[in-house]
Amino acid sequence: MLRNGLEPWHLLIVAIIIILLFGSKKLPEAARGLGKSMRILKSEAKAMKDDGATQSAPVSETRPVD
């Protein structure tokens, strides 16, 4: 049933419906907002990944010699 679920004409119909719902003037603004959000999410994820790598790295302890 869903073998050929996403054919090119399906995508065309979805695109036309989106343009009709949101209007052609709002779509570029929405795309810019989505792009900014994705960049922020990517940078925050990278910062968290880097933060986790520095916290889990072994710390060399210096013990006083008796």
- 3-state SS of 29-59 is HHHHHHHHHHHHHHHHHHHHHHHHHHHHCCC
pTM more than 0.85: no
d(CA 4, CA 40): 35
- Tell me phi and psi for residue 41, to 5 degrees: -60, -45
**Residue range 6-55, pLDDT digits in tens:** 788 888 999 899 888 888 888 889 889 999 999 999 999 999 988 877 76
- Note whether 30 and 22 are within 8 A (CB): yes
Instruction: Give the pLDDT of residue 10.
Output: 87
- Amino acid letter, 1: M
pLDDT greater than 50 at residue 1:
no
Q: Round the CA-based radius of gyration of the chain to a whole number and report it.
A: 24
Instruction: Give the pLDDT of residue 32.
Output: 93
Instruction: Give the pLDDT of residue 65.
Output: 62
Instruction: Give the pLDDT of residue 44.
Output: 94
